[in-house]
Amino acid sequence: MREIIKLDKETRQYMISEIKTYFLIERDEDLGDLASGLILDFFIEKLASEFYNQGVYDSYSYMSDKIVDLLEIQKSNNISPKR
C-alpha cells in the first residue's frame, strides 16, 4: 500500500487554486473547490510517486557525475587515496 502524501492546509489550498485557474484559463471550465480537490487527490494518489522517483533518479545521476568528476581530478593530479 502506498503512503499518501500529506499536504499542509495552505499548500493544499494553493494547489487547488492553481488547478481552478488552469481549468478556467485552458478549458474555460469554472471548477469549484471540491472538484479541484478531487483532481488534486487523484494526482497525489496516482501520479506523485512517479515525480518522486524521477527526482530520486535525477539526484542519483547528478551525484554520480560529481563523484566521477572528483575521481578524475584525483587521477589527473596523481594523488593517491589515503588508507
Residue ranges per domain, the chain? 7-46, 49-83
Please list the pLDDT of the chain residue by residue as tens digits (83 residues): 456 788 999 999 999 999 999 999 999 999 999 999 999 999 999 999 899 999 999 999 999 999 988 888 877 877 666 66
DSSP string for 37-78: HHHHHHHHHHTHHHHHHHHHHHHHHHHHHHHHHHHHHHHHTT
* pTM flag (> 0.85): no
